Amino acid sequence: MNSTTTTIPEKTTFQHLSSLPVVVAALGYFVDIYDLQLFGIVRIPSLLSLGLTLDEADVVGIEILDFQMIGLLLGGIAWGMLGDKKGRLSVLFGSIITYSLANIACGLIPQINFVDKIEAYKWLRFIAGFGLAGELGAGITLVSEILPKNLRAIGTSLVAGIGLMGAVVGTFTVRLSGDWTIAYFIGGGLGIMLLLLRVGVIESGMYKGLSQKGGISKGNFFAFFTNRERFIKYMKCIGIGLPTWFCMGILAYQSNQFGKALGVVGVVEPGLSIMWGYIGVSVGDLLSGFISHRLHSRKKAIAYMMAFALAGVLLFLFGGFKTPEALYALCCWLGLGTGYWAMFVTVGAEQFGTNLRATAATTIPNFVRGALVPMNLLFLAFKPSLGVIMAGMLVGVLVFSIGFYSTLTIPETHGKDLDFLEE
């Protein structure tokens, strides 16, 4: 009697890159970015509608943004540890519930009468930031662990490239809806819809294997600080990402201030600056994976893009452009140069073992986002004596110096086998 064996054909590149975990991670990051950038887009109109003057809106807007960024920082630690202790999927579900409900509540702020509306706004953006902190790191970790190592860079770039278009959609949503509160409701609704889509996603095989082993420390955030080599790698991973949030958080978010200082003729709208910046980031993130794949190096791809971003910063500050459209184009340039965001998060995931990977990949980008708080403090400290342009330049010199040093001295991870543990 003849027996036949059934062989399961190898998945094609397209099948790997279009698998449900990759698609869901990309859509999840899309909603994440939509909600994360929404405050930056509606900052001025929302605060003006709550009774603030334009000058007050600039000051209070930075305070609320700082609350959101502190939420991201603390949430990054909490969700990262949970991702290694309880699994990548637990974070993907928990984080989206948190930020979806917080964004729906933001849409209800005009109806709040029992507390000060501005205080409520601050704390709701803190809660939203806390929830948003879990999305990217868990998604990148999951995708990195399920894809073949030769496709990791492309897969994570697809996740970020598609996801970052959420900022563009957010801008159009605000403009088409005609009311900033509706944009918040839509963001919360998209999150709830995504939650239903996630039901079919499976856990990472590497994490399943880890969970079956006993006696292994998982998700210990303090492990990054108890070993000198591990600590230095961790800090360099954070350093690589600093220029991204300088370009978006200082130059694009506060482009109206820079427009005035540069003598721009016409009104510079931060919402449009953010939109064009994230169009550039989306394209850059898609390109970064292919550049890394082509160069067989994460470090070279990031360094080249960082240099391109630095050239954009110099043009933004000293190019002498006098129209809002020119600043929007330069924001797109800055976004393209800092479109190594997914690559830098991937590098953070690849540097550390499976028992710390989600903690690293979740905390690193959120420490970078949280670093916008001291960047803003430096910018505000320098501005009275040096002016907007020179204050921006000094902060930029600091963050790009750290960024280049970190990129050039961190270990290369292209093609690295990720099935290992941290002692």
pLDDT in the model for residue 213: 58
CA angle 338, 321, 306 (to 5 degrees): 15
Which stretches does DSSP call E strand in 98-163? none
169-194 residue pLDDT tens: 887 888 888 889 999 999 899 888 88
pLDDT in the model for residue 216: 66
Report whether pLDDT(202) > 50: yes
pLDDT in the model for residue 6: 47
What is the pLDDT averaged over residues 82-93? 74
323 near 51, Cβ under 8 Å?
Answer: no
What is the pLDDT averaged over residues 379-391? 94
pLDDT confidence tier of residue 352, bands split at 50, 70 and 90: confident
Higher pLDDT, 79 or 304: 304
pLDDT confidence tier of residue 307, bands split at 50, 70 and 90: very high
Structure tokens at 391: 């204050």
Report whether pLDDT(209) > 80: no
Residue in the block written with tokens 């079919």: 200
What is the pLDDT averaged over residues 347-374? 85
pLDDT confidence tier of residue 422, bands split at 50, 70 and 90: low
Span 16-202+221-409 CATH architecture:
Up-down Bundle (1.20)
pLDDT in the model for residue 246: 95
4-34 residue pLDDT tens: 444 545 778 778 887 877 888 888 878 888 8
Contact residues for 41 (Cβ-Cβ < 8 A; gap 6+): 167, 170, 171, 174, 183, 270, 271, 274, 275
Region at 289 (left for phi over 0; alpha for psi -120 to 50; beta for the rest): alpha
Q: What angle, rounded to 10 degrees, do the helices at 255-262 and 270-295 form?
A: 100
pLDDT confidence tier of residue 1, bands split at 50, 70 and 90: very low
Report whether pLDDT(244) > 50: yes
pLDDT confidence tier of residue 395, bands split at 50, 70 and 90: very high
Domain ranges of the chain: 16-202+221-409
What is the pLDDT averaged over residues 53-73? 87
